[in-house]
Amino acid sequence: VLALASIGAIPSGEPVSAPPAVRSIAVLPFSDTRSGPGGDPLGALLSESVASGLGRHRELIVRPSTASGKFPSGAQDAAEAGRALQVDAVLEGRVRDDRARMQVELQLIRVSDGARLWTNGGESFGGLEYAHHDLVRKVALALGLDPDRTDTARRPVDTPIRSAQAHLLYLKGRHLCNQ
C-alpha cells in the first residue's frame, strides 16, 4: 500500500477501504449437466436449498427463488441479473452428477463491478444430503457471516438430512410451488 501511495496510485492520507459488505444476495438456479432422478432439475433444486439455508441469516436478505429463477446461471451476465434483482451479490453455479458423485462449482459475484468474490473450485460430494449443508456453510463464510449463528425465529433449525430421497422430494415440491 505504501508503495502504491508513493507513486500516486492511492492518494496519501486516505484510508484504503474494503469493498462494501454484501447485505443482499440472489441465488441463481444452478445449471446442471444432467437432470436428477425422475427428470428433476438437480441444479435448480440445489440452488433453492442453498438459498433457503442462507435465508436463515438475519444479516442477509436473500431474494426469493421465484424472482431469481428468471435468471438461470450462465444464461446471461450474473452482474446484470443482480442489478435487475437489486442485490449486492449473486451466487451462480453448475452441478455435474454422474450418479456416483456430484460435483458443484459455485462463484459469488459482486454486482457493482462484476468481480468474483469467491469460488469453491468445484467440490465433489457423495450426494445431495452432503452438499447442502457444506455449501451453505462455505458461502456464509465467504460472505463474512458466522455459519453457526442463524436466526431460528425466521426458519427452523437445520437438522441433518437423514434421507436423501425424502430431501429430494421436499426440494422438488418447493421447486414446483415456486414455478
What's the average model confidence in pLDDT over 41-68? 87
**Cα(153)–Cα(164) distance, rounded to whole angstroms?**
26
CB 123 within 8 A of CB 104: yes
CB 90 within 8 A of CB 111: yes
**Cα(131)–Cα(139) distance, rounded to whole angstroms?**
12
Helix segments in 11-127, DSSP class H: 42-54, 65-68, 78-85
Is the per-residue pLDDT at 38 higher than 60?
no
**Cα(36)–Cα(33) distance, rounded to whole angstroms?**
10
Q: Which residue has the higher pLDDT, 59 or 16?
A: 59
At 102-147, the pLDDT tens digits run: 889 999 999 999 999 999 988 888 777 678 888 999 999 999 988 8
**Cα(13)–Cα(25) distance, rounded to whole angstroms?**
33
